[in-house]
């Protein structure tokens, strides 16, 4: 049957009638008394239970019919199916009956292979022709164009083909895997298939879509866009709200499609098991490749007629993973992994043959297409590796990391600790390549400033700065991916420095904030230039086709993760050429990480194409490979004495070199076959500088042994105290005492989270009993002979607590769980620091402003935390520093408010302040600024307000565009900092003038808070305006008894200075 746009959609009047009837019954109940309501609820629950049972019974009957169709279909595909079906029939009576029935209906008989004229009898051929002409066989649905129920646009040809493929699976009772490459519209194909079931088959549901939390909103929007008639229920909410949704939406079956996250399925599995699902659709299906995972087990327990897996990454040829997929798709055939393993062992270990046969098994229900084959309108993305150097600071930190573990760098470590230690070194080196500020103590400060040093101290930041300027000029928009969330923190400071508008998503971003950020970036006319994302959190389920440049700041170990990140921009809907720039720090560990990723990607591609078995040992880097990565470029780093390796080349020249090296790298791996790659991956780990280390003896020191850089001789101390301190220093042990064991799964209590003291006591008791069970003995603490007795007493007391410890009772365990919920467990240390900074910046009671500063916290959360903080802040270690910071900030706010009031009072005295404003200068007026310039600064400062963000940058811009100063190059060239200093001096003059007027009128302001301003007002001036020492002496004389006369004289002098020349007179 071929369906065209003229086909009529099915009527839904019966369903609407049922919904209306239910709503009337609910209204009926609201008027009854409580007893009647209870009895009615009980009867409704019984009725609901009966309905669920009926639906399960009906579904099971349909599954039995599908099973017959499925086995009939599969028996004609490959003999491998017949083998496993026969094995299953031995233990399953239902399967045995189906197979016997199919065998009885099968007209094929054993014949002599040499008898070519009698392969079929006349009767067999007639029966086959009758089957082919059976009307049931013609009942196949094929769409030739986009279905009429798709209202949000038109499906592309290959998407219609995908829909037809899904329909053919359904008609044969087969489950499937839709594995199109990312960006080809797998979501739309799935939605169109659900529309087919609804409008052409009359199957309303229920359907279940299990997807990552980050993609739930995208699924809901796609349903609303393409088929808005489908009743979609997004089941994702906090615990207290979930109970309401379960009772009002889920259990009432008030939906056609339920979209939920993996975590919600695990939490509410009891309710999901009640349903007889028509289709269970699992997005990002690699989550169930491990059949031992909790999610995989729970989804297998849900009763459904069909299952559909969706994945954008290619399937790996790991035998066990392939079996897990087969078990999920064909549980009635591949039911026992042990049976499968025994059959595999019987193949004489020929794993490649087995994988080829398994590919034949998967082929009927696996659809995999790539963009280059089907999407002609989408230009292929252009990937360029940009090789960057190290800054001077990065070189020093790189050397420090290598010197700290020089034995490990040279491979002189044992097997037991080796790999973990090497992985840590690789991670630290990669952090250094990203930015040295990722290490504590690297950033200069305090005070910490957002300045050019953020860029110049990292080779990647220098490159990024050049690239973004180029992209901005070309009207491009950029996605920046990094594995490290703290790199995004540095990039945020960089955006603030350059004035770039941006959005951000990382692992800490809430579901609601993700939606807001994506909408802001994709909105028409959006001013957001950058989108900062972590590779894992931002690489799935996001459509960002409004960007056309992707920056991979640091490569992921898994090349598929980077590909997913690139496809956020390179997907259907992209109209521009997409450029992907991958940053690689030259001659460092990052080069080897990139090479290994390219090798792994190529190996995976060849394995899948050729149906070869995957090498288990290559999933993770071996110890030898890690050593090779670490040693790459290490010797050159140690030879680097001063300066960095950052090139000063133009961005275009860097790109040309990057394109050339990228092409060479790709060509290098494209020319290798699968056997070459496998040999390459194992042998290259033992090669360094062209030598084969496998031929060397393990105890031989090689000529390529890497030596650390020579240490600089430090200045000797000639202090006697320091000398004897060094001579008498006995030293300590190189390793600290072993840490006392702690019980698993305890809440990590931090002082800023304000957990109840009772919880701490319970956990201490729990820890003591845990140590008692282990037979732990408290060691003696370090100290001097004088305090030996005291240390022994402390040890005995702690040991006594352990020896007398008893386990927590059930009541105490429940109390402990309750107490855990009373703390602020979602407030991390970073949130606390932001809260302190926001309180200092805006004042402790400015909750709205604080909520805007503390990322991820609502106004209600801020108020709740603030209330507890000010009640219990003394429990925080070093609270005096935090309170002092807040009080100092509030003092600055008060001072700023007072200055604002005084400035407004001064300006309001004049009708035309730009022409009439009189300023009472001090003796150190300076020689640079004219009175006209000063008037302009004060008037504009009053207009913008002192509290306005970037007010001095705005003043600078006002000066630049004002016609009054068109040729005043001195005034136009002042920086924001210089303008700030000048305004501070002028505000002090205004304050002093008004206070003097108030003194004359018999009333004086409280000036206790402003003494510091008067003492430091000279410091606020630029250095070139500091007068000679005789001026200072005159200033001292001005504080004598004739102070008022001198100040009056200064006013007269300042009013008569009409030019810069007159300002120099004295």
pLDDT of 9 over the 80 cut = no
Across the chain, mean pLDDT equals 73
Whether residue 353 contacts residue 611, with contact meaning beta carbons closer than 8 Å, is answered with no
pLDDT digits (tens, 9 = 90+) for 777-811: 888 887 787 788 888 888 888 888 888 888 888 78
Cβ contacts of 55 within 8 Å, gap of 6 or more: 275, 276
Residue 98 pLDDT class (50, 70, 90 cuts): low
pLDDT at 513: 82
**Of 1057, 1024, 747, residue with least CA distance to 919:** 1057
pLDDT at 770: 80
Whether residue 192 contacts residue 150, with contact meaning beta carbons closer than 8 Å, is answered with yes
- Residue range 889-1063 in CATH 1.25.40.10: no
Helix, strand, or coil (residue 826): coil
pLDDT at 687: 39
pLDDT at 531: 92
pLDDT at 1049: 37
Residue 194 pLDDT class (50, 70, 90 cuts): very high
**Maximal CA-CA distance, the chain:** 134
Q: Which residue has the higher pLDDT, 1061 or 484?
A: 484
Name the residue ranges covered by the structural domains of the chain: 138-313, 382-695, 753-820, 829-876, 889-1063
Q: Which residue has the higher pLDDT, 1028 or 971?
A: 971
pLDDT of 147 over the 80 cut = yes
CATH class, range 829-876 = mainly alpha
Residue 232 pLDDT class (50, 70, 90 cuts): very high
CATH of domain 753-820: 1.10.1040.30
Q: Which residue has the higher pLDDT, 99 or 628?
A: 628
Q: Which residue has the higher pLDDT, 35 or 1015?
A: 35
Q: In whole angstroms, what is the distance from residue 207 CA to residue 191 CA? A: 11
pLDDT of 1028 over the 90 cut = no
Homologous superfamily of the 138-313 domain (CATH): Tandem AAA-ATPase domain (3.40.50.10810)
Q: In the numeric block, which tokens belong to residue 1025?
A: 């305006």
Whether residue 544 contacts residue 572, with contact meaning beta carbons closer than 8 Å, is answered with no
Q: Percent of the chain having pLDDT more than 70? A: 65
Q: What number is the average pLDDT over the span 157-180?
A: 86
pLDDT of 271 over the 50 cut = yes
**Nearest 10 degrees: Cα torsion 992, 997, 1001, 1007:** -10
Residue 571 pLDDT class (50, 70, 90 cuts): confident
Q: In whole angstroms, what is the distance from residue 916 CA to residue 909 CA? A: 10
pLDDT digits (tens, 9 = 90+) for 350-372: 555 665 666 666 777 788 888 77
pLDDT of 262 over the 60 cut = yes
pLDDT digits (tens, 9 = 90+) for 720-772: 455 445 444 444 444 445 556 666 567 777 888 888 888 888 888 888 888 88
Homologous superfamily of the 382-695 domain (CATH): P-loop containing nucleotide triphosphate hydrolases (3.40.50.300)
pLDDT at 189: 92
pTM: 0.48
pLDDT of 190 over the 90 cut = yes
CA 610 to chain CA centroid, Å, is 35
Cβ contacts of 299 within 8 Å, gap of 6 or more: 210, 265, 280, 282, 288, 328
**Of 602, 604, 600, residue with least CA distance to 316:** 604
Helices (H), 376-534: 392-404, 406-409, 415-434, 453-456, 459-473, 485-498, 511-522
SS3 content of the chain, % helix, strand, coil (to 5): 60, 5, 35
pLDDT at 926: 60
pLDDT of 1041 over the 50 cut = no
pLDDT at 209: 93
Same fold, 138-313 and 829-876: no
Query: What DSSP element (H or E) covers 208?
Result: strand 207-211
pLDDT digits (tens, 9 = 90+) for 103-134: 555 544 444 444 444 455 565 565 555 555 54
pLDDT digits (tens, 9 = 90+) for 456-503: 888 899 999 989 998 988 889 999 999 888 889 899 889 988 888 999
pLDDT at 351: 53
Residue 967 pLDDT class (50, 70, 90 cuts): confident
pLDDT at 300: 85
Highest averaged pLDDT of the listed ranges 412-421, 571-580, 673-682? 571-580
């Amino acid at each position: 049957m071929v369906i065209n746009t003229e086909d009529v959609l099915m009527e839904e009047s019966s369903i609407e009638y049922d919904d209306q009837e239910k709503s009337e019954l609910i209204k009926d109940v609201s008027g009854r008394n409580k007893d009647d309501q209870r009895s009615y609820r009980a009867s409704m629950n019984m009725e609901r239970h009966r309905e669920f049972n009926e639906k399960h019974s009906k579904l099971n009957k349909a599954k039995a019919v599908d099973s017959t169709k499925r086995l009939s279909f599969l028996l004609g595909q490959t003999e491998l199916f017949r083998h496993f079906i026969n094995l299953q029939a031995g233990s399953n009576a239902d399967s045995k009956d189906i197979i016997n029935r199919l065998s009885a209906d099968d007209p094929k008989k054993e014949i002599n292979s040499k008898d070519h004229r009698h392969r079929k009898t006349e009767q067999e051929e007639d029966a086959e022709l009758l089957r082919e002409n059976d009307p049931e066989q013609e009942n196949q649905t094929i769409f030739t164009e986009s279905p009429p129920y798709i209202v949000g646009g038109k499906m592309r040809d290959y998407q219609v083909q995908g829909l037809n493929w899904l329909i053919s699976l359904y008609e044969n009772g087969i489950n499937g895997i839709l594995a199109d490459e990312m960006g080809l519209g797998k979501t739309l194909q799935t939605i169109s298939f659900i529309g087919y079931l609804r409008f052409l088959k009359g199957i309303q549901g229920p359907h279940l879509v299990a997807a990552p939390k980050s993609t739930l909103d995208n699924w809901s929007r796609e349903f609303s866009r393409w088929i808005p008639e489908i009743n979609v229920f997004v089941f994702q909410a906090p615990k207290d709200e979930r109970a309401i949704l379960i009772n009002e939406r889920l259990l009432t079956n008030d939906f056609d499609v339920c979209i939920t996250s993996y975590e919600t399925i695990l939490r509410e599995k009891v309710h999901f098991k009640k349903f007889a699902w028509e289709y269970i659709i699992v997005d990002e299906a690699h989550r169930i490749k491990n059949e031992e995972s909790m999610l995989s087990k729970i989804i297998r327990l849900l009763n459904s007629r069909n299952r559909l897996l969706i994945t954008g990454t290619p399937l790996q040829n790991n035998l066990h993973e392939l079996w897990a997929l087969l078990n999920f798709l064909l549980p009635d055939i591949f039911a026992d992994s042990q049976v499968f393993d025994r059959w595999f062992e019987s193949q004489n270990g020929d794993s490649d043959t087995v994988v080829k046969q398994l590919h034949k098994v998967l082929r009927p229900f696996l659809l995999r297409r790539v963009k280059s084959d089907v999407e002609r309108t989408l230009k292929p993305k252009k990937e360029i590796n940009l090789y960057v150097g190290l800054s001077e600071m990065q070189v020093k930190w790189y050397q420090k990391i290598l010197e700290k573990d020089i034995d490990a760098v040279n491979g002189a470590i044992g097997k037991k600790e080796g790999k973990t230690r090497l992985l840590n070194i690789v991670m630290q080196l990669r952090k250094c390549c990203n930015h040295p500020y990722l290490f504590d103590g690297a950033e200069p400060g305090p005070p910490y400033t957002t300045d050019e040093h953020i860029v110049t101290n990292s080779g990647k930041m220098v490159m990024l700065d050049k690239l973004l300027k180029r992209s901005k000029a070309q009207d491009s928009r950029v996605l920046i991916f990094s594995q490290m969330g703290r790199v995004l923190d540095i990039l945020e400071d960089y955006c603030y420095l350059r004035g770039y508008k941006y959005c951000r998503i990382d692992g800490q971003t809430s579901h609601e904030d993700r939606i807001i950020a994506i909408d802001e970036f994709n909105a028409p006319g959006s001013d957001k230039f950058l989108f900062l994302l972590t590779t894992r959190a931002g690489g799935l389920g996001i459509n960002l086709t409004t960007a056309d440049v992707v920056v991979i700041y640091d490569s992921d170990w898994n090349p598929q993760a980077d590909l997913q990140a690139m496809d956020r921009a390179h997907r259907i809907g992209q109209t521009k050429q997409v450029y992907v720039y991958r940053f690689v720090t030259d001659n460092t560990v990052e080069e080897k990480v990139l090479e290994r990723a390219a090798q792994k990607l190529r190996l995976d591609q060849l394995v899948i194409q050729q149906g070869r078995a995957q090498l288990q040992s290559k999933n993770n880097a071996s110890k030898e490979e890690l050593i090779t990565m670490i040693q790459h470029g290490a010797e050159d780093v140690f030879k680097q004495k001063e300066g960095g390796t950052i090139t000063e080349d133009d961005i275009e020249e860097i790109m040309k070199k990057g394109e050339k090296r990228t092409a060479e790298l790709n060509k290098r791996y494209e020319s290798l076959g699968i056997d070459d790659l496998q040999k390459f991956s194992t042998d290259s780990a033992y090669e360094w500088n062209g030598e084969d280390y496998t031929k060397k003896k393990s105890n031989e020191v090689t000529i390529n042994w890497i030596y650390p850089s020579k240490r600089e001789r430090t200045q000797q101390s000639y202090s006697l105290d320091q000398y004897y301190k060094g001579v008498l220093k006995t030293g300590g042990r190189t390793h600290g005492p072993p840490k006392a064991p702690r019980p698993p799964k305890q809440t990590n209590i931090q002082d800023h989270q304000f957990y109840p003291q009772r919880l701490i006591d319970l956990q201490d008791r729990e820890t003591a009993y845990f140590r008692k069970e282990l037979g732990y003995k408290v060691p003696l603490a370090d100290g001097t002979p004088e305090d030996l007795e005291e240390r022994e007493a402390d040890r005995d007391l702690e040991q006594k607590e352990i020896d007398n410890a008893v386990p927590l009772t059930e009541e105490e365990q429940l109390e402990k769980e309750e107490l855990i919920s009373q703390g602020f467990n979602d407030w991390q240390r970073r949130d606390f620091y932001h809260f302190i900074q926001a309180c200092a910046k805006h004042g402790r009671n400015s909750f709205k402003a604080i909520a805007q500063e503390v990322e991820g916290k609502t106004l209600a959360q801020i108020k709740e935390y603030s209330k507890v903080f000010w009640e219990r802040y003394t429990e925080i270690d070093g609270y005096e520093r935090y309170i002092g910071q807040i009080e100092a900030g509030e003092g600055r706010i008060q001072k700023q408010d007072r200055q604002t009031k005084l400035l407004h009072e001064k300006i309001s005295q004049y009708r035309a302040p730009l022409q009439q404003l009189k300023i009472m200068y001090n003796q150190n007026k300076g020689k640079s600024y004219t009175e006209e310039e000063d008037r302009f600064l004060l008037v504009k400062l009053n207009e913008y307000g002192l509290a306005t963000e970037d007010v001095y940058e705005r003043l600078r811009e006002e000066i630049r565009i004002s016609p009054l100063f068109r040729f005043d190059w001195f005034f136009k060239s002042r920086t924001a900092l210089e303008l700030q200093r000048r305004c501070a001096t002028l505000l002090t003059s205004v304050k002093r003038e008004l206070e003097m007027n108030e003194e004359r009128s018999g009333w004086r302001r409280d000036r206790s808070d402003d003494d510091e301003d008067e003492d430091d007002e000279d410091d606020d001036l630029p250095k070139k305006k500091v007068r000679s020492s005789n001026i200072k002496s005159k200033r001292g004389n001005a504080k004598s008894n004739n102070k008022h006369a001198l100040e009056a004289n200064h006013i007269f002098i300042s009013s008569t200075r009409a030019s810069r020349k007159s300002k120099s007179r004295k």
